[in-house]
Amino acid sequence: MSETNMKNAQLILSDLRIAFGKSTAAAESLPVALDGVSLTLSPGRCLALLGESGSGKSLTALALMRLLPDNARVLSGSALLDGVNLLALPESEMQQVRGQKLGMIFQEPMTSLNPIMSVGEQIAEALRAAHLTAEPEKIKSLLVEVGLPPERTDAYPFQMSGGQRQRALIAMMLAGNPRFLIADEPTTALDVVVQAQILKLISRIQRERGMGLLLITHDIAVAAEMADDLAVAYAGQVVESGPAAEILQHPRHPYTRALLGVQEGLEQRGQRLVAIAGSVPMAAPPQPGPGACRFAPRCDNVQAACREAAPALQPTEAVSGSVRCFFPVGASALHAQTRLNSSTQSPSTSAQATQPKPVLEAKNLLIGYPIRKGLLRRTVGQTVTVNQVSLQIAAGETLALVGESGCGKTTVARTLLQLQRQTSGEVVLDGQVVDGSRAADLQRLRQSVQIVFQDPYASLNPRRSVGEILEEGLISLCPEVGATERQERVKQLIQQVGLDPQALQRYPHAFSGGQRQRIAIARALAVRPRVLICDEPTSALDISVQAQILNLLKDLQQEYGLSYLLISHNLPVVGYLADRVAVMQKGVIIESGSVQEVMHSPKHEYTQTLLAAVPKMPA
């Protein structure tokens, strides 16, 4: 193949089927995780693979890179590049493909980078693996290309921010000058400003180098902003594919339509979000007979035929478009269904005309950490992370605290709960100053204020059952509640957050991310607090699960009159849920006001930058 033809060659994935199980087991008895996935990556174009967690997106990427776990078996399919099937290559030859023809940016850079090697050493290693000379100037030029100063060559991953680590990982992937790049959720844990920077960087590099890009994401707005082509994955299958603009404007599959309906709902403040019931089914062995549509149990347009046979991927009227559905729908149905499902308007939780007395206040909080030097480690100064911050949260309202990572949002939350002490300033509950050194004050505070942490899996004890986790707070903070009443309250809590009481006997690892977040909310509600601090409660969740959690928070606020402090960098969620917004930058509140004022008429330049960085859906 000539050099020109090689540059123009596509990466073609055809009919990929992957199952999990022992190598000695019969193929027909194994649970199939990918079932007939076909994708085409073209040079200079971005293909977004969109879908919920468990749809098989990352597994598809790992298959292309030949990095599948040991218990995965490729039952059929091919991945052709330059006329060679990557799935059939011996490992020694596949090592020459990785980095040089095919590169991958993983979801979490901290786990992808070697913590005991400097960034420069890791880029040099990537250059040598591609049989290139690891010259210092080449390493520095790669860092400059991804927007890092050349002096960061000697930095270690722990010395860099999340966005800087992601840039360093991109520099490593570019070292071998690959023709195709796979980006697996490259901005999931980043705030909107850094997310916009990373997406712009990837787009620029792709354009300048003419690379083909496979972007794996569950964020529809990111896909809309980046993609030329779009493939929607569900339960191990591609259910719709074609030009991105065509699918986003005229979705044909009910699943695509439902995802877009959730995204649209975030723009309809005061109305209930359109949530997709249920969850993505687990991989299962093939069943005898014609099968059924995998989305049928969650589809609002299911017909008898959907349960009697599995639909094939059929061409649509769009150029190169296809859909896996017996009854594809039009764009008009999307808007009609959105209006139908959101017609029941949630009671507004807007602040009252006369501001009620605050339940929880922060007054002039200053939080610093000592700088110690010398042999005796004497304090010679302090690093101020939060500077003179004042907040008020009234009964029944939602105050959002927004800002980029590292600005001090979580530090303020931890101080309000007295999980850490302020250097100066006061935390006031019901008009009384909380003294963090007095056990009685802490008991009173934590009976009234609870927190839902960002990562529910890290905050739930893996060695305790859900029932024991929910009882723990009652035993500690409400000792007057007897065992019988405690168990009854725990059972009511698990039902209130939408889980079956049988879940009380199970352990955290047995649940999905959205279910674990529901358990974390139930734990926080166990002591019947009046204020709930929600620290990025939906940041790591799919948009469909995000809608379920936001609806739950609205319902609980309506039922119990809860006040929320919502800490988030997801501005669409803030616009949907909050009554007031405070914007934080470098430890200081730089703008605050009603959600309408801050979101639609921002005064501060930084607030304007945050809003401009939010990925936009096409009009």
pLDDT (0 to 100) of residue 353: 45
pLDDT (0 to 100) of residue 39: 95
Extract long-range pairs of 284-287: CB within 8 Å, 24+ residues apart.
284/31, 284/32, 285/28, 285/29, 285/30, 285/31, 285/32, 286/28, 286/32
pLDDT digits 0-9 by tens, 230-273: 999 999 999 999 999 999 999 999 999 999 888 887 777 778 88
Q: Which of 181, 175, 178 is nearest to 125 (CA)?
A: 175
pLDDT (0 to 100) of residue 515: 81
C-alpha 234/C-alpha 183 separation (Å) is 19
What is the SS3 assignment for 217? strand
pLDDT (0 to 100) of residue 5: 53
**How buried is residue 350: exposed, middle or buried, by Cβ count under 10 Å (0-12/13-18/19+)?**
middle
DSSP string, 11-65: EEEEEEEEEES-TTS-GGGSPEEEEEEEEEE-TT-EEEEE--TTSSHHHHHHHHH
Q: Return the DSSP state at 338.
A: H
User: Would strands 588-594 and 580-585 be described as parallel, antiparallel, or unpaired?
Assistant: antiparallel
pLDDT (0 to 100) of residue 335: 45
C-alpha 356/C-alpha 400 separation (Å) is 17
Give CA 582 to chain center in angstroms.
Answer: 23
pLDDT (0 to 100) of residue 191: 81
pLDDT (0 to 100) of residue 354: 53
pLDDT (0 to 100) of residue 337: 46
pLDDT digits 0-9 by tens, 131-157: 888 899 999 999 999 888 998 899 998
What is the SS3 assignment for 534? strand
In the predicted model, residues of the chain with pLDDT beneath 70 are 1-8, 189, 287-289, 318-319, 330-355, 512, 540, 619
266 neighbors 325 (Cβ within 8 angstroms): no
The type of residue at 346 is S
DSSP string, 150-202: GGGGG--GGGS-HHHHHHHHHHHHHTT--SEEEEESTTTTS-HHHHHHHHHHH
pLDDT (0 to 100) of residue 291: 82
557 neighbors 525 (Cβ within 8 angstroms): no
Correct CATH for 3-101+178-340 of 3.40.50.300, 3.40.50.10490, 3.90.25.10, 3.60.15.10? 3.40.50.300
pLDDT digits 0-9 by tens, 581-609: 999 998 999 999 999 999 999 999 999 99
Domain range 358-612, CATH class: alpha beta
Dihedral sign computed on CA atoms, order 209, 215, 220, 222: negative
